[in-house]
Amino acid sequence: MINPVLRRELKTKLRSWKAPTLLSVYLVILASFGGLIMAINELDVYTRGFDPRGALSIYALLAGCQLGLIILLVPALTSGTISGERERQTLDLLLVTKLSPFSIIIGKLMASISQIILLILASIPIFSIIFVFGGVS
């Protein structure tokens, strides 16, 4: 059985314009960073030839960029969930329900974590480009 707070949060977060915009901006930043790294690596190909171990360094740099973006986005997405309820004046209604405060917080946290997992899963095609060049097993 799914947490009712989680169900409501997923419906409202994913139906708003903020989720696709966040996903698009995240993927554009990650793809442009990956493209920049690959372009810098291609400049060395003309002088030394192709090195498959370079793909491993591209993968590590892209994973580091993704980690940095996730570290910046997680606090921004999770910090405003309970305070947003207070601003919309729906926190009192939420506290009056039969749900325990622990399940309310867990539902809000899982909704934020699911949005982060969506960002990570959406970046898989960008990472798969590196596998074309080899060097990553």
- Residue 50's region, left for phi above 0, alpha for psi from -120 to 50, else beta, is beta
Which pLDDT does position 35 carry in this prediction?
82
Which pLDDT does position 46 carry in this prediction?
64
| Contact in structure between 136 and 130 (CB atoms under 8 Å) | yes
Which pLDDT does position 24 carry in this prediction?
93
Grouped pLDDT means (10 residues each) for the chain, 137 residues: 84 85 91 82 66 76 88 83 81 83 86 88 86 66
